[in-house]
Amino acid sequence: MEGGRPMPPRKDSQTLDHLLHQMDLAFTNVTGQTISFIDQSGSWHGPLRLERFTQFCRCVMDSPEGAARCRACNHTMGLRAGDGVVVECCHMGVSVISMPVPVEEERSIYLSYGQFLTQDTQAEFYRRLEDSCAQLGLDYGRLQKAAAELRVLSREELDARVQLLRIFASYLAVSQSELRTRMEYAQQMEKKLELERKLHSMEFKFLQSQISPHFLFNTLNLLMRTAYRENAAQTAGLICDLSDLLRRAYRAKDSVCTLSEELLCAEKYLAIQSQRMGPEFSYEIDCQPGGERVMIPVLTIQPLVENAIVHSMADEERPLRLSVRVRLEEELLRITVSDNGDGIPQPVLEQLEEGGGEGSGLRNVSDRLKLFFGPEARMDIASRPGQGATVELLCPLDREGGVGHV
């Protein structure tokens, strides 16, 4: 309940109800009989098609006491069916087949098919019928007439129905899995589109330039070739790294990339900064094996390392050290960017909380992570003046790698 109103049904619950209904209709078309889906509390899952029940069972359920005993039988049979197929008699002596349905639900569901007699139970059923009617206050003559319409199954017929039900249950499990996969894919596509819209609306610093990208990259290529001709290999390497960074920024509409690509981008940026700052600056990048394949939004790490350098001063007495670490912890991706610099100024931290100013770059990273990994993704910032700062990204991963892996 929320605000006094019932919560709307979950989409996956609606999908399961639809599958169960389709399975019931298919079984009825094949056999002329109905099946029921019951949870372990004894309640019927979905609409109860009483018109498909035998006349005998409808007569019993017309009695309040009879209906209550039917629910109690459902509960008991559901518990026993937790480990496999169970064939047993209900409180009236009618035979019922119960088996678990392998679906991904909060509550276990089992399939119930019955309202028949077997050659082994027929005699005991009729011997107890009069006493059972008396206990429920039912008309013995009416129930005896309805009992004559119950089907009597041989051992071979019973085995055939058990096998058919197993096939239907397996089909249901496969169908639900396929539908769930399609729903998850649709949700991921919706998330990707939202992420792309968010990316297009962001103010990437590289895109603020009014210079034609075609002219810019041609000029950088010219400078790089000139540097090589002049045997200035280090200068050519810096120009190449800068060109790669700018090209990546201009193509940010691709929205996602592997973590290895993102780390390579950060490394190119840090290599340029290392040349600019000299021996007063050093860095290390440490990625746990297996993390390279994780998918993340583009320009996730580079803004973090840029933020660390912008808010730190390096000199001979206090060289700046920057570390990027990636760890996989069960169902969690942890990315940590830390430095020993001046820390993030308090006004910037306040602007980050408010979503504007100098903190907007970090906020954009946090927003994009939530769009891609879900609302559980978060960014933690620890900063101490004069002692450095640590920015940690915590991103949930599916049990099998899920959205985060290729």
Q: What is the CATH number of the domain that holds 211?
A: 3.30.565.10
pLDDT value for 83? 62
Does the pLDDT of residue 271 top 90, yes or no?
A: no
Q: 148, 181, 214 — which closes off a domain?
A: 181
What is the average pLDDT score of the chain?
76
Q: What is the 3-state secondary structure (H, E, C) of 199-249?
A: HHHCCCHHHHCCCCHHHHHHHHHHHHHHHHHCCCHHHHHHHHHHHHHHHHH
Residue 3 belongs to a domain = no
Dump pLDDT digits (tens) for 58-69: 899 888 898 888
Q: Please check whether residues 252 and 336 belong to one and the same domain.
A: yes
Average of pLDDT values for 35-48? 64
Shared domain for 125 and 193, answered yes or no, is no
From 157, 181, 205, the end of a domain falls on: 181
Do 211 and 158 lie in one domain? The reply is no
Q: Cβ-count burial of 76 within 10 angstroms (0-12 exposed, 13-18 middle, 19+ buried)? A: middle
Residue 4 falls inside a structural domain: no
- Residues 294, 215 share a domain: yes
Same domain, yes or no, for 322 and 399? yes
Confidence category of residue 4, pLDDT binned at 50, 70, 90: very low
Q: List the single range of 154-168, 320-334, 355-369 with lowest mean pLDDT.
A: 355-369
pLDDT at residue 11, as a whole number: 46
pLDDT average, residue stretch 337-347: 87
Mean pLDDT for the stretch of residues 278-295: 90
Within this chain, do residues 21 and 89 fall inside the same structural domain, yes or no? yes
Q: Is the pTM of this model over 0.75?
A: no
Query: In this structure, is residue 81 part of a structural domain?
Result: yes
How is 373-391 classified by DSSP, letter by letter?
H-TT-EEEEEEETTTEEEE
Q: Structurally, how many domains does the chain consist of?
A: 2
Q: What pLDDT was estimated at residue 30?
A: 66
Q: Which amino acid belongs to residue 311? A: H
Confirm if 364 and 393 have CB atoms less than 8 A apart: no
Q: Residues 241, 114: one domain?
A: no
Lowest mean pLDDT among 101-105, 266-270, 399-403: 399-403
Q: Which domain holds residue 62?
A: 11-181
Output the pLDDT for position 334.
96
pLDDT attached to residue 367: 87
Instruction: Give yes or no: residues 172 and 209 share one domain.
Output: no
Domain boundary among 154, 181, 208: 181
Distance CA 32, CA 82 (A): 27
Whether the pLDDT of residue 405 is over 60: the answer is no
Together in a domain, 396 and 365 = yes
Q: Are residues 343 and 360 in the same domain?
A: yes
* More confidently predicted of 406 and 69: 69
Query: Same domain for 148 and 95?
Result: yes
Q: Provide mean pLDDT across the span 333-353.
A: 85
The alpha helices in 278-359, defined as continuous H runs, are 302-310, 346-354
Share of residues in the chain with pLDDT > 90 (%):
17
Q: Please tell me the predicted confidence (pLDDT) of residue 288.
A: 92
Count of beta carbons in the 10 Å neighbourhood of residue 103: 20
User: Is 283 part of a structural domain of the chain?
Assistant: yes
- What pLDDT, on the 0 to 100 scale, is given for residue 251? 58
Is residue 396 domain-shared with residue 263, that is, in the same domain?
yes
**pLDDT score of 103:** 61
Pairing of strands 332-339, 320-329: antiparallel
In a domain, 102, yes or no: yes
* Predicted pLDDT at 206: 44
Asked if pLDDT for residue 210 goes beyond 50, the answer is no
* Residue 105 reports pLDDT greater than 60: no
Tell me what pLDDT residue 2 has.
Answer: 34
With respect to residue 373, please indicate whether it lies within any of the assigned structural domains: yes
Instruction: Identify whether 108 is part of a domain.
Output: yes
Residue 5 forms part of a structural domain: no
Handedness of CA 57, 61, 65, 67 (dihedral sign): positive
